């Protein structure tokens, strides 16, 4: 039997810096956005996250996309 994967949706996690600690290391936080459409291009997802964070005072460090799949044994 073969396993078939069906693409569901995705989440995007954005890490950003909120300041500097007493010892000089960056203080990082993460915000997760759920319900990203599976067919959205990586460039479009990144552009939207970058545009949202351009409105904030905190610099965007990185963006991670986690794709979700439904695995079905047929």
Instruction: Please compute the mean of the pLDDT values over residues 42-52 and round it to a whole number.
Output: 96
Task: Give 67's pLDDT tier (boundaries 50, 70, 90).
Answer: very high
Task: Give 38's pLDDT tier (boundaries 50, 70, 90).
Answer: confident
Q: Phi, psi at residue 52, to the nearest 5°?
A: -60, -45
Instruction: Please compute the mean of the pLDDT values over residues 22-40 and round it to a whole number.
Output: 95
Q: Number of structural domains, the chain?
A: 1
Instruction: Please compute the mean of the pLDDT values over residues 45-60 and round it to a whole number.
Output: 95
Write out the DSSP string of 1-64.
--EEEEEEEEEEEEEEEEEE-TTS-EEEEEEEEEEEETTS-HHHHHHHHHHHHHTSSSPEEEEE
User: Which domain covers residue 56, as residue numbers?
Assistant: 3-73
Token pair belonging to 12: 């995007």
Query: Considering the chain, what is the average pLDDT of its residues?
Result: 94
Distance CA 43, CA 19 (A): 27
């Amino acid at each position: 039997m073969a396993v078939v994967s069906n693409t569901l949706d995705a989440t995007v996690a954005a890490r950003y810096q909120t300041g500097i600690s007493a010892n000089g290391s960056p203080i990082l936080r993460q915000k997760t956005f759920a319900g990203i459409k599976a067919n959205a291009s990586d460039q479009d997802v990144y552009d939207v996250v970058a545009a949202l964070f351009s409105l904030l005072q905190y610099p965007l460090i990185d963006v991670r996309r986690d794709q979700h799949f439904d695995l079905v044994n047929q």
